Amino acid sequence: MNALLDVILPVFLIIGAGYFAAWRKIVDEAAVDGIMRFAQNFAVPILLFRSVSTLDLAQSFDPGLLISFYTGAFTAGALGYLGARFLFNRTPVEAIAIAFVASFSNTLLLGLPITERAYGPEALTGNYGIISIHSPILYGVGITLIELARSQGQGLSKTALVRRVLKSIFVQPLVLALLLAFSVNLLHLPVPTVVSAAVDMMAKTAIPAALFGLGGILLRYRPEGDMKTIAFVSLLTLIVHPAITFGLTQAFDLSVEQTRSAVITAAMAPGVNAFLFANMYGVAKRVAASTVLLATAGTIITAWGWLHILP
């Protein structure tokens, strides 16, 4: 019970505050969108830049850690695709969007604060290692697959397809922030004190602003039909992904800290980016939106369970 009260509920209280503020019209939709744009395009990328630019990359990029997490992610995604195609009769493009939802854990807005509250800031090294390649890998695979599916019969050249995929990936603020962070880290570039101070100030706003904005956004994602598909995808993201990740962390004999980071990150509901991906292509939007909402609520219980299972 202490884990629920001390670790998980404070995070969801901030989400709930955003939901309440939007519901009672204390902030309107334009304000919520502004908060989320600030968080996603500025504060969160700067938080990632600060963290990744100073990471011990050798420790953070442990192969066992990354294989454990991403094997779970891609397995959940593959099962999401197969289920969407053959259980729920979705088109290939819709099924890819649903698979993206199943594989895309909310590593930032839920995984980071829950891990930090449970185990302290020093426990986040593994989280940042996972997060630093999360968007580039999953967006890269998702965009490539969906563009391949959409280009069938269009006669699109390989060069044009590659250009379209790369453009879609490298306009993402998170990806740009990570590229800059890796450059600073690997090249040992100095960051002026005045810039570092500004980065620290902005980074402190990232998680609270993003959680509050997430609450406001979730008000719009009301479940409307497709409940079997939504339940299926929620099961994959909340149970299957972390279960596979946990099993592999044991097989690789990862440290307690690495196991915690990998499993807690894997156990998070899909993030708003999962809906944005579906919205970008105009497919499976209701499934994506409702899964984000219901799985985020379900994370209160499943995260509590994983915190009790983990050492």
Tokens of 52: 């990744």
Q: How confident is the model at residue 270 (pLDDT cuts 50, 70, 90)?
A: very high
DSSP 73-91: HHHHHHHHHHIIIIIS---
Residue 158: phi and psi, rounded to 5, are -60, -40
Smallest CA-to-CA distance from 309 within 269, 266, 263, 268 is with 263
Is pTM beyond 0.95 here?
A: no
Give pLDDT, residue 300: 87
**Is the pLDDT at 164 greater than 80, yes or no?**
no
42 burial type by CB count under 10 A (0-12 exposed, 13-18 middle, 19+ buried): middle
Smallest CA-to-CA distance from 207 within 74, 21, 35, 2 is with 35
How far apart are the C-alpha atoms of 276 and 273, rounded to whole Å? Answer: 5
**Is the pLDDT at 78 greater than 60, yes or no?**
yes
Q: How confident is the model at residue 161 (pLDDT cuts 50, 70, 90)?
A: confident
How far apart are the C-alpha atoms of 244 and 250, rounded to whole Å? Answer: 10
Rg of the Cα trace of the chain? 19
**Is the pLDDT at 93 greater than 90, yes or no?**
yes
CA atoms within 13 A on the CB side of 271: 22
Give pLDDT, residue 147: 82
- Report pLDDT digits (tens) over 184-208: 999 999 999 999 999 999 999 988 9
- Using an 8 Å Cβ cutoff, are 217 and 64 in contact? no
Q: Which CATH number fits domain 2-309: 1.20.960.40, 3.40.50.300, 1.20.1530.20, 1.10.3720.10?
A: 1.20.1530.20
Of 2-11, 53-62, 80-89, 214-223, which one has max mean pLDDT? 80-89
Give pLDDT, residue 167: 78
Q: Which residue has the higher pLDDT, 21 or 290?
A: 21
Q: Which residue has the higher pLDDT, 240 or 143?
A: 240
**Is the pLDDT at 153 greater than 70, yes or no?**
no
What is the average pLDDT across 128-152?
Answer: 86
CA atoms within 13 A on the CB side of 134: 30
What percent of the chain is predicted at pLDDT more than 70?
A: 94
- Report pLDDT digits (tens) over 28-45: 999 998 998 898 889 988
Residue showing tokens 């992610």: 73
Residue type for position 279:
N
Q: How confident is the model at residue 57 (pLDDT cuts 50, 70, 90)?
A: confident
Q: How confident is the model at residue 224 (pLDDT cuts 50, 70, 90)?
A: low
**Is the pLDDT at 146 greater than 90, yes or no?**
no
How far apart are the C-alpha atoms of 259 and 280, rounded to whole Å? Answer: 34
Q: How confident is the model at residue 3 (pLDDT cuts 50, 70, 90)?
A: low
Cα dihedral sign, 143-295-217-282:
positive
Q: How confident is the model at residue 91 (pLDDT cuts 50, 70, 90)?
A: very high
The CA-CA-CA angle for residues 215, 219, 223, to 5°, reads 125
